Homo-oligomer: A and B are copies of this chain.
């Protein structure tokens, strides 16, 4: 983990500029339109929501990603351009065209993202004015990170450095959270940049590796939005030989750097889950496969019963056990062991008899660590979430559009 420079994370790698402006899409008057530009056309990879209902910008982006190349990313907050049909798609296409004209690149080299309320058409006049106004610069990464926020209470940025083929590279990233004070802003967006030269295949593989172990392991409330997207640009501005998929050492170094950045963004998103007071980290070891370890970890971290208990420091391990058993993984409870913090609470199919007051000590801080060993093999996975507080319900219930 490296510290983010003043100019922001996504412009920390060479050859990127970013900026943001207030276009007037948000009623609050906060910055709501941002632009990321690579000096040269970059190799690119993206991952989209698994929700079958995808917002129009994502439909456009998939089209634009067929050649795996991008020059610019335009993003607005305040309106998700979701559930807007053919008109929404035309609006997204127009955002790409306007950005292409501003940057001086082809329309298909622009990636478009939107986050905000669902079911309202985009205010295209404001969007057009905003795209005309924004001035991307080398120090604009932080402004970009702030402009994508909706209900986030803090900016989420991270950088990592790695070496491949004797050259030093930087990976930068920023994200907005899936924390949902407001009902329609249920979107996780993450933007990643690197100055390494990477083939499309290697970029795609390493992005998936990193995201599967980080951003895909975050649960705030179990819902996947219509707009969730991760996009990664690799412009090669730092020089060196192109990292390709066959070059496992260099590709692996890139993957670990991406994983580092994405894990930092993921835990920040979980910690900033709306109303949250505690980060919950669930580690599952002893899985017969990574997939089953992952499924158990996710099932535990998303249990509303457990999340509610942890908000008041109640070490309710019965709920951990129940949630683990609901993951659809056929483990033998006789082989399961369960810890909260360092305290072993369940083993050999029964309670260890440790008083809950003992375990309660482990959840007095702002991070709760839960561990389960499935006793089935050597694979492990980690998932992150947050506690469920009355604030979550109040904010989600009281929101008025």
Contacts and interface: CB of A to CB of B under 8 A. Distances in A.
A83 B351 contact: yes
Given A309-B397, A349-B86, A393-B390, A321 B183 contact: no
B82 A393 contact: no
A322 B401 contact: no
A329 B53 CA distance: 11
Given A53-B325, A86-B349, A120-B351, 17 more contacts: A52-B325, A83-B318, A83-B350, A88-B350, A183-B305, A183-B316, A186-B305, A222-B304, A223-B322, A224-B322, A226-B321, A304-B396, A305-B396, A311-B397, A314-B397, A388-B393, A392-B393
Interface string A313-332: 01011110111111001110
Contacts of A399: 309, 314
Given A183-B305, A321-B118, A389-B393, A331 B52 contact: yes
Contacts of A346: 83, 119
A62 interface: no
A51 interface: yes
A391 to B, nearest CB: 9
A324 B53 contact: yes
13 contacts: A51-B326, A52-B331, A53-B322, A84-B350, A85-B348, A85-B349, A118-B321, A119-B318, A224-B322, A309-B396, A312-B398, A390-B390, A390-B393
Nearest to A400: B314
A87 B184 contact: no
Interface string A194-223: 000000000000000000000000000111
A390 B394 contact: yes
A314 to B, nearest CB: 7
A275 to B, nearest CB: 9
Contacts of A308: 183, 392-393, 396-397
A225 interface: yes
A199 to B, nearest CB: 31
What is the total number of copies of this protein in its complex? 2
Interface in A139-153: none
A63 interface: no
Nearest to A53: B325
Interface of A: 50-54, 82-88, 117-120, 180, 183-184, 186, 221-226, 303-305, 308-309, 311-312, 314, 316-319, 321-326, 329-331, 333, 336, 346, 348-351, 356, 388-390, 392-394, 396-401
Contact of A350 (B86, B221, B329): B86
A184 B316 contact: yes
Contact of A118 (B318, B329, B392): B318
A116 to B, nearest CB: 11
The 4 closest A-B pairs by CB, nearest first: A85-B350, A118-B318, A53-B325, A308-B396
Contacts of A356: 401
A82 B398 CA distance: 38
Contacts of A117: 318
A110 B231 CA distance: 60
A246 B168 CA distance: 75
